[in-house]
Amino acid sequence: MNTILIGSQWGDEGKGKIIDVLTDRADIVVRYQGGSNAGHTVIAEGKKRVLRLVPSGILHPSKSCVIGNGVVMNPLDLLGEIDELQSTGIETLGRMWISTRTQMVMLYHRALDKAEEAARPVGRKIGTTGRGIGPAYAAKVGRSGLRCGDMLQDDFLDKVREQVLETNDRLRELHAK
């Protein structure tokens, strides 16, 4: 049997808590969408942990977790979150997998996110977190972004350089660094 939890609101609706309760009945917990712009706080065994990318099932030692291809993930954010989990005794090695099709949020997406928000006229700002989520999803939809599996290809650095050059052109258009 599969159980799917879908959030239909734009804010904190308690999905993390519900997933934590449902995890007892699951073998695998999958994060299938979203980015590291928000997160949820989980208190387990008296310890407070903030999870932004890693599925909360990781707090249950016998569970496996997957970051799916609908997620936009900054690899640096993920590494920081894994380090934080491991420093509190939560092991991720052999228990967590990332789809090769997971879209990456690169540092240039953050720069673009902030520049685009700054360029919007007063009253038309969207209130972005500036973490690059919107531009990464735009790159995903436009089929121009980088996916985790791209890191395994010989031409990965060439692809990154191409993206950086294109983003720098757009940042100049926006009069940003």
Question: What whole-number distance in Å separates Cα of residue 161 and Cα of residue 119?
Answer: 25
- Residue 94 exposed, middle or buried by CB count within 10 Å (0-12, 13-18, 19+): exposed
Residue 23 tokens read as: 């995890």
Question: What whole-number distance in Å separates Cα of residue 4 and Cα of residue 33?
Answer: 12
DSSP-derived pairing of the beta strands 40-44 and 47-51: antiparallel
Cα angle 59-62-66, degrees, rounded to a multiple of 5: 70
Question: What whole-number distance in Å separates Cα of residue 39 and Cα of residue 19?
Answer: 13
**Residues belonging to the active site:** 12, 40
Helix/strand/coil for 108: helix
Residue 142 main-chain phi, psi, to 5 deg: -80, 0
